[in-house]
Amino acid sequence: MSEKPDTQSHAEKALKYHAEPSPGKVATLITKPCETQEELSLAYTPGVAAPVRAIAADPQAAYQYTAKGNLVAVITDGSAVLGLGNVGALAGKPVMEGKAVLFKRFADIDVVDIEVDAPTTDAFIDTVTHIAPTFGGINLEDIAAPYCFEIERVLTERLDIPVFHDDQHGTAIIISAGLLNALELQGKSLAESRIVCLGAGAAAIASMRLLVRLGAEKNNIVMIDRKGVLYHGRGDINIYKEEFTNDTGARTLEDAMHGADVVIGVSGPNLISQAMIKSMADHPVVFALSNPDPEITPAEVHAVRKDVIMATGRSDYPNQVNNVLGFPFIFRGALDVQASRINIDMQVAAVHALAQLAHAPVPDSVLKAYGKKKGSLCFGPDYIIPTPFDPRLKDYIPPAVARAAVGTGVARIPYPAHYPQLGT
């Protein structure tokens, strides 16, 4: 008999995946035996009093006697969940559980997902502050701009563990690594490139800040929000957008893209036309990162330009800009030196490590995971950033991040002996 055709929609499959055989995607695991009376007495009373006294005397002992050092909180208020908007804290839980899966799968980091139903920004900040002693790091997720900027800033000041808003910095790191490689292939420098940023939210602002740190000229960046170009004197923008106002006569996306070397879309679907692509400079770079539908598709771009390097946020096109390339390994490096924060130097180190990995020969395991033949994935226009299933990500990014943490004085312990040493 022939197999019955699969008539389930993707949504139906996703619901079944999340519901069966048990609801959700995460659970807890006991790491110590508790099978005998003696083991019970060690796990709980009276034995547990010994580490309690040790931590009371020296809070740093929590890293030795509890799971704190490998435990990250993934926290949201549900105000900007994926492309679904303000769906509320509880509805954001499947995404936070998904983030937990990625942390564990790619970097063996344990996660507790926390959904905070907070009426104000201050209430959210206070809630996270009060629960922070439990964790070795905090990953903020799916929090709307501009509130996310203030939340991250205040929590970073208050807490002595890394606070990282992945929608900002994770996206910025992957974009930056891919762009450095794309510009190298196009024979252009970051400092001289004219960059159009379509979008002015958290990811856009963080990405442009990081690119400036890497060498881009702020005067060469034109940022565009829903109302048009951010220019000097425009009176309807917040302080975060004001940072990227420019002295330009451009007022529309079409104006801005004329002669541009780079366009980075972190906005919405179908906003870039083929005519705009045709008006760009020779050998342009197009990052159309709106998900699931990009600002313009690769097919539309390549139909009018043959000299383009393009990336999207989708796995079914080459050059996927995917945050999973960054955040698990950035936290791995930070946790392994008990860092008090993830600073800009650590982010820059992650960018260069990720960009460097794309130059290395691709192992057979990656080719097999993506159904590719030997030699089909190598540094070039269709391979400017590594793939998420590259096992070497954990060998490149965490050591670079840890080394930067030690070098900038935010690490509590030395660079790990099991990491590659300088010059090796």
Q: Which of 161, 191, 223 is the last residue of a domain?
A: 161
State the CB neighbour count (10 A cutoff) for residue 278.
13
CA distance 171 to 401: 16
Domain count, the chain: 3
Domain membership of residue 213 (yes or no) is: yes
Catalytic residue (one of 13, 16, 32, 44)? 44
Give per-residue pLDDT as tens, 199-251.
Answer: 999 999 999 999 999 999 999 999 999 999 999 999 899 999 999 999 999 99
Q: Quote the tokens at residue 113.
A: 């997902």
Which amino acid appears at position 146 of this protein? Answer: P
Are 143 and 101 members of one domain? yes
Are 208 and 298 members of one domain? yes
pLDDT band, very low/low/confident/very high, at 292 (cuts 50, 70, 90): confident
* pLDDT (mean) for 5-19: 88
Q: Is 396 a catalytic residue?
A: no
Q: Quote the tokens at residue 36.
A: 């005998």
Q: Quote the tokens at residue 144.
A: 């709307």
Say whether 180 sits in a helix, a strand or coil.
Answer: helix
CA distance 278 to 53: 68
What's the pLDDT score for residue 268? 93
Domain membership of residue 8 (yes or no) is: no
What's the pLDDT score for residue 82? 83
Domain membership of residue 15 (yes or no) is: no
The CATH number linked to 303 is: 3.40.50.720
Give per-residue pLDDT as tens, 358-409.
Answer: 999 999 989 988 888 888 889 999 999 999 989 999 999 999 999 999 999 9
CA distance 99 to 319: 21
Are 147 and 175 members of one domain? no
Are 195 and 87 members of one domain? no
Give per-residue pLDDT as tens, 157-200.
Answer: 999 999 999 999 999 999 999 999 999 999 999 999 999 999 99
What's the whole-number average pLDDT of the chain?
Answer: 95
Q: Is the pLDDT of residue 52 over 70?
A: yes
Domain membership of residue 49 (yes or no) is: no
Q: Which of 134, 161, 188 is the last residue of a domain?
A: 161
Give per-residue pLDDT as tens, 324-342.
Answer: 999 999 999 999 999 999 9
Q: Is 394 a catalytic residue?
A: no
Q: What DSSP line would sit under 214-255, residue for residue?
A: HT--GGGEEEEETTEE-BTT--S--HHHHTT-B--S--SHHH
pLDDT band, very low/low/confident/very high, at 422 (cuts 50, 70, 90): low
Q: Is the pLDDT of residue 259 over 80?
A: yes
Domain membership of residue 182 (yes or no) is: yes
Are 331 and 394 members of one domain? yes
CA distance 187 to 287: 17
Give per-residue pLDDT as tens, 54-98.
Answer: 999 999 999 999 999 999 999 999 999 987 899 999 999 999 999
Cα distances from 193 to residues 42, 172, 179, 213, in angstroms, run: 62, 17, 11, 14
Q: What DSSP line would sit under 87-138, residue for residue?
A: --TGGGHHHHHHHHHHHHHHH--EEEEEE---SSHHHHHHHHHHHGGG-SEE
Domain membership of residue 230 (yes or no) is: yes
Does residue 139 contact residue 97 with C-beta atoms inside 8 Å?
A: no
Domain membership of residue 221 (yes or no) is: yes
What's the pLDDT score for residue 371? 84
What's the pLDDT score for residue 3? 57
Are 154 and 173 members of one domain? no
Are 240 and 344 members of one domain? no
pLDDT band, very low/low/confident/very high, at 108 (cuts 50, 70, 90): very high
Are 174 and 199 members of one domain? yes
> Is the overall model pTM greater than 0.85, yes or no?
yes
Comparing 29 with 278, the larger pLDDT belongs to 278
The CATH number linked to 81 is: 3.40.50.10380
Are 154 and 204 members of one domain? no
Domain membership of residue 244 (yes or no) is: yes
Q: What DSSP line would sit under 124-149, residue for residue?
A: HHHHHHHHGGG-SEEEE-S--TTHHH
Task: Say which DSSP state 323 is in.
Answer: G
What's the pLDDT score for residue 5? 62
**Domain boundaries, position 148:** 67-161
Q: Which of 131, 161, 191 is the last residue of a domain?
A: 161
Q: Is the pLDDT of residue 265 over 60?
A: yes
Query: Percentage of residues in the chain with pLDDT exceeding 90?
Result: 90
Closest to 385 in 3D by CA, of 304, 289, 257, 299: 289
What's the pLDDT score for residue 424? 46
Are 351 and 225 members of one domain? no
Q: What DSSP line would sit under 204-222, residue for residue?
A: HHHHHHHHHHHT--GGGEE
Catalytic residue (one of 99, 188, 240, 396)? 99
Are 174 and 296 members of one domain? yes
Q: Is the pLDDT of residue 253 over 80?
A: yes
Are 366 and 400 members of one domain? yes
